[in-house]
Structure 1
Amino acid sequence: MSSAEQDTGKVENVSEAAAANGADSTQPTEPVNASAIIHDGQGRYLLHLRDANKPWIWESGCWSLLGGGREPQDRTPLDTVRRELREEAGLTLPCLEPYAVEHVTGADGTRVPIQLFSGRWNGDPTRLSLTEGVMLAWVRPEKFPYMTMLPSTRTLPERHAAEHPAPADESAQAAGAKSMEAPAGTVLNVVGVHLYLERDGQVLLGLRHHDSAYAGGSWHVLAGHCEAEAATACLVREAFEEAGLVIDPADVDLVHTVHMRDQPTSPPRIQLYFRARHWVGTPALREPDKCVAWQWWSAKDLPEPIVRYTRAAIEGIQAGRVYTELGWER
């Protein structure tokens, strides 16, 4: 099926959708569903993780586009997609442009057209009022192949990205560099986000692949680097991508910060450790090229070898400290 395939809880099957639309059930001519390709103009796309274990919805457990089925009060597909964005995510976009019409094929062979719209937005998805599905996240196209997505769904934002490349001309780069210019003497710090999960006095650690570019063969908490996103959004994204864990950003607390420098010539790093009070799922090896095992370890008897700053952070958390410095000359 094509990507605009939407929640069959709203449209029981495509034949009924066609009939409800007033068309011949074998050849519906007007779109009965509408979806939105939402991007930030800088190469990121807003994706919706749909509920798992619900066989009555299409793309259950997969990343998809926001949108849904046409309802009687919707005069046009544009009305449908605007209503769906409000209902699913509390999102209102003033400018939505028609992008393409795709078709889905039902079990009985009926093909139903789906209207796709494109719109631009650059807000924080963790602040939206999500009422359906699990989460919303900004994702770059190079991440799509490593996510649970239907191939036909993945094709659409990939095609849009190819048709609308992120600004790369010299004038745009110069303007961006000027706006991002830091005061004289400032050194930019890399921000890392780390997931601290504790269960009955044990913490979750992953064994890094021996060929990993960083800390190969060592134990480490689930972690990642912030992109152009909030730290909690990064945490939620990395937890799902690396281990299949679903975490609500409202259920995390910042419990420790490590300000460090590995070498005098290395960029300084700020390592944020967030404790999740609740999560859904069992740790899975979603990126086996990076992590080969997940295991719970006693916080008082950590394994070796372990990443130095992770040991320092866990010991600090256990002692009730909120801050650690490593690698700085005093």
Structure 2
Amino acid sequence: MAVSHSEIRDVLFRYLEHYRYPPEANQLIRLVRALDEGHDVTSCTEYRIGHVTIGGIAVDRDLRVLLVRHTEPERWLTPSGPLDPRDVSLVGASLRELERQTGIRARDITSSPDEQSAPFDIDVRSVPATNDVPEHVRFDFRYAHWVDEADVRPLIGDSARLSWLPAEELHPCGLKSKLSAVGVG
């Protein structure tokens, strides 16, 4: 059973109840409207309104965050990607995406949010157009997962694509302060 629009709505409203970053709240109104109007925000081909993606952020005992080197655009990003029709929860989807991009399995996680938790961040990002995909918006629901870095054995072939960065060096808008709110950094 896929992640439902009602779960996304419930999690979104739990997040907004505890929201500490009012300038971004206005950007999330677009997602609230899309859900109210019945748009399929779980489809990665919903470009007019935007779509929900999921992020799994690995944090180690030294308060470092695992980043993945992407080629398009070429930069270090936190692991995230589209929802899968087989995902049954947003937290579960974040674990799947973390494993897909880093090889970190659920059993490597020492502490994770429960299924009812709101994410520590919902990143609203404009994605530039490519040859076959128009410019669109992603609403990236990000969950933090604590790992014992010494136990992590990435499954992907090229581990040079992965790098641990101290939380205090994170540059994405507000990510450092949002992680601080959940005890990182």
TM-score, normalised to structure 2's length? 0.53
Partner of 2:165: 297
The equivalent of 2:125 in structure 1 is 260
CA distance in 2, matches of 1:268, 1:320: 25
DSSP 3-state at the match of 1:235 = helix
- Superposed displacement of residue 202, structure 1: 1.5
Q: Secondary structure at the match of 2:97?
A: helix
Partner residue, 2:20: none
For residues 89-115 of structure 1, the C-alpha deviation after alignment (integer angstroms, 9 at most, x for no partner) is xxxxxxxxxxxxxxxxxxxxxxxxxxx
Is 1:251 aligned to 2:109, yes or no? no
Residues 61-120 of structure 1, C-alpha deviations (whole Å, 9 max, x = no match):
xxxxxxxxxxxxxxxxxxxxxxxxxxxxxxxxxxxxxxxxxxxxxxxxxxxxxxxxxxxx
Kindly tell me: are residues 189 and 294 of structure 1, through their superposed partners in 2, closer, same or farther at Cα, counting changes over 3 Å?
same
SS in 2 for 1:312: coil
| Match for residue 53 of structure 2 among 175, 181, 192 | 192
Task: Quote how far apart the aligned CAs of 1:198 are.
Answer: 2.0
Larger Rg: 1
1:158-173 counterparts in 2 under 5 A? none
Any stretches of 5+ residues in structure 1 without a counterpart? Answer: 1-121, 125-179, 322-330
What is residue 205 of structure 1 aligned with on the other side? 67
Match for residue 215 of structure 1 among 45, 68, 73: 73
Structure 2 residue 94 is matched with structure 1 residue 226 = no
Question: Which residue of 80, 95, 110 corresponds with 1:236?
Answer: 95
Residues 123 and 235 (structure 1), Cα distance of their counterparts in 2 relative to 1, 3 Å cut: closer
CA deviations on 1:180-233 (whole Å, 9 max, x unpaired) are 9749xx94322221122222221111222xxx3x223x1111222112233223
Contact kept, 8 Å, 1:261 with 1:269, in 2: the verdict is yes
Q: Sort the Cα spacing of 1:227 and 1:279 in 2 relative to 1 into closer, same or farther, 3 A.
A: farther
CA contact (8 A) 2:55 2:94 kept: yes
Aligned length: 129
Note the alpha carbon deviations across 1:259-303, whole angstroms, 9 max, x for none.
232459622210111011457941415164xx743221111124x
| Equivalence for 1:159 | none
Q: Which runs of 5 or more residues in structure 2 are unaligned? A: 4-36, 41-46
Q: Supply the AA of the counterpart residue of 2:152.
A: T
The 5-angstrom pairing of residues 102-181 of structure 1 reads: 122=1
Equivalent pairs: percent with the same residue? 12
Q: Residue 67 of structure 2: SS of its match in structure 1?
A: strand
Q: String of CA shifts for 1:138-161, please: whole Å, max 9, x gaps.
A: xxxxxxxxxxxxxxxxxxxxxxxx
Q: Please tell me whether the aligned partners of residues 80 and 140 of structure 2 are also in contact (alpha carbons under 8 angstroms).
A: no
Q: 1:235, 1:267 → 2: CA distance?
A: 21
Instruction: Please state if 1:314 is matched with 2:167.
Output: no
Distance in 1 of aligned mates of 2:135 and 2:146: 34
User: 1:271 matched to which residue of 2?
Assistant: 140
Give 1:226's aligned amino acid. Answer: L
Which structure's relative contact order is higher, taking Cα pairs within 8 Å and 6+ residues apart? 2
Which has the larger share of helix? 2
How well do the aligned residues superpose, as a CA RMSD in angstroms?
A: 3.7
Paired residue for 1:284, among 145, 154, 175?
Answer: 154
Does the 8 Å CA contact 1:247/1:279 hold for their aligned counterparts?
no
Aligned to 2:14: none
Name the CA distance, whole Å, in 1 between partners of 2:94 and 2:148. Answer: 12
